[in-house]
Structure 1
Amino acid sequence: MPTLPNRRSVLSAIAAISLTVGPAAARDDAPVVAAASDLQFAVEEIAAAFETETGMRVRLSMGSTGNFARQIREGAPFQIFMAADEQFIADLHADGLTRDKGDLYAIGRVAIMVPHGSTLTPDAELDNLAEMLAAGQITRFTIANPDHAPYGMRAREALITRGLWEDLQPFMVLGENVSQAAQFALSGNAEGGIIAYSLALAPQVAPQGTFELIPEDWHEPLRQRMALLNNAGPVAEAFYAYMMEPSALEIMARYGFVVPEGQ
């Protein structure tokens, strides 16, 4: 797949954050939370509020759920895993790598987003995308890699539902995760892409373009589940509990997540 150059006007904040394990990290005993990249702005805000209210701190590592699941199996030093698809938590639990089955913390949505100045107009039914594709006016369109990123999986399902998946293949650019897909979609080098609704709503991203929600029945639900890993300590336990507190839930709702009432 081609790689899009980044335009300087695209905020660097939506680039994926990678965990670096080295001497500096080893000296910092704050627990590491592996969080799906659709959570980037929401969980950063929650972590800041957690530190303000409790005096305790967590470190965040943002990336694709599938890659994190692989890293956990390889012994990565995470204490909490916040997945974008609950199946990854279920599989890790079945293999004895989480304390329990975890908790459903949100249901996500996908949206089509285009940069200002794009010839593509976002609409919920993807009609304009279909028209431009038929007219040979699409050069690049981006989603997260569906091989390991749940938001990419759901984007693929939505495009299959609309009957556009196969025709888009020659023009598809895959982000390593949905945060990178948003970066590509807003770079000005693509007509647009399908990204997480939570990223489209973020104040750091929303001014860069326009978006429309894609019908939720066009893809499998993005049931997002988190779990404590077996090595989780007291601070990780406290942050995990804080994620279910009203202040954290309010932040999640503000970023477009449906906050589940039950499991």
Structure 2
Amino acid sequence: MKLRLTIFFTLVGFVLVSCASADPPAASTSANNPPVPSGMSDSVSLIVAAAADLTPAFQELGTLFTQQTGIEVVFNFGSTGQLAQQIAQGAPVDVFAAANQSYIAELEQDGLVISETVALYAQGRITLWTRADSPLNFETLDDLMQPEVTRIAIANPEHAPYGVAAREALESVGLWEALEPKLILGENVAQTLQFAETGNVDVAIVALSLSIAAGDDGRYALIPAELHNPLDQALAVVSSTAHETEARQFAVFVNSEAGREIMRRYGFILPGEEPIP
């Protein structure tokens, strides 16, 4: 099934995509299915700013969280750097899940996130992705030098951690300068995948999570982890939240057994687990 991702950016307000159902089922009381806290307002709605690579995983995770807690979750997916800038400028956000822990560290230094809620939740990977009907085949980065390849998409490394990883990988194999004229920059890694899905580029370097979610619509090859710095991803509750209790619940849920199961299915390496070579 083709992954449909539409990301909107604005510093004045968000166009938000809700992943919570309108009428969540009653929560059970098992250890992995916590009850709805007594006295919690039915009108609570969390705003979670999340890196674009998290789109399929967090949409699924958010739905499950709402089912188990009754707390609605509304996501704003985008480039980590742009989301961090929005938070720094006072955008209404309860939880921030970044694609690189350095952005969380910067916000923490400025007092914009609650320090005790800062936590690593995943390590991401990058892939070479192309449409299933493409006549081109990509197994390694060297395949990008095929003369038939004229357009290559990566996320903008100025503000997208997955774009930084793509640039580092190309630099590691000595191809950055040769391929830079062919690069098309996406505002975030989800838009980068869209360029390849629509045939506007020959191939894209994107997140493994998005490659998995795209399913049979494309083919992908995992780029060796040693070619780029680790994509250590962290989250935190934003200091200005009006729903700190509920925001803390969501932050903890991401690293819960149920949350980790979802993240693992989308290819993320979880804290305490060994990465794939």
TM-score band, normalised by shorter chain:
0.7 to 0.9
For residue 117 of structure 1, report the CA deviation from its aligned partner: 2.7
Q: Which residue of 1 aligns with 2:106?
A: 91
For residue 169 of structure 1, report the CA deviation from its aligned partner: 1.7
Cα displacement string for residues 195-253 of structure 1 (whole angstroms, at most 9, x for unaligned residues) = 00000001xx1221100100000000000000111123222121111112101100000
Q: Which residue of 2 aligns with 1:65?
A: 80
Q: Which residue of 1 aligns with 2:46?
A: 31
Measure, in 1, the Cα distance between the counterparts of 2:198 and 2:175. Answer: 22
Counterparts in 2 of 1:5-154, with a 5 A limit? 11=2, 13-18=4-9, 21=13, 30-100=45-115, 102-123=118-139, 125-130=140-145, 132=146, 135=147, 137-154=148-165
1:254 lines up with 2:269 in the alignment? no
What is the root-mean-square deviation in Å for CA atoms of aligned residues? 2.1
For the 8 Å contact 2:131–2:218, the answer to whether it is kept is: yes
For residue 64 of structure 1, report the CA deviation from its aligned partner: 0.4
Q: Which residue of 2 aligns with 1:172?
A: 183
Measure, in 2, the Cα distance between the counterparts of 1:56 and 1:261. Answer: 28
What SS does the aligned partner of 1:212 have?
Answer: strand
Measure, in 1, the Cα distance between the counterparts of 2:136 and 2:108. Answer: 43
TM-score (norm 2): 0.83
Q: Which residue of 2 aligns with 1:219?
A: 228
For residue 12 of structure 1, report the CA deviation from its aligned partner: 6.6
Identity of aligned residues (%): 40
Q: Which residue of 1 aligns with 2:196?
A: 185
What SS does the aligned partner of 1:58 have?
Answer: strand
For the 8 Å contact 2:260–2:270, the answer to whether it is kept is: yes
Measure, in 1, the Cα distance between the counterparts of 2:9 and 2:86. Answer: 12
AA matched with 1:157? E
For residue 29 of structure 1, report the CA deviation from its aligned partner: 5.0
For residue 118 of structure 1, report the CA deviation from its aligned partner: 2.1
Structure having greater relative contact order (Cα 8 Å, sep ≥ 6): 1
Structure 1 unaligned runs (5+)? 1-9
1:196 lines up with 2:207 in the alignment? yes
TM-score (norm 1): 0.87
What SS does the aligned partner of 1:236 have?
Answer: helix
What SS does the aligned partner of 2:166 have?
Answer: helix
Aligned equivalent of 2:171, options 132, 149, 160 = 160
Measure, in 2, the Cα distance between the counterparts of 1:82 and 1:187. Answer: 28
For residue 72 of structure 1, report the CA deviation from its aligned partner: 0.9
What SS does the aligned partner of 1:220 have?
Answer: coil
Measure, in 1, the Cα distance between the counterparts of 2:182 and 2:62. Answer: 37
**Count of aligned pairs between the two proteins:** 243
Structure 2 unaligned runs (5+)? 18-42
Measure, in 2, the Cα distance between the counterparts of 1:38 and 1:159. Answer: 20
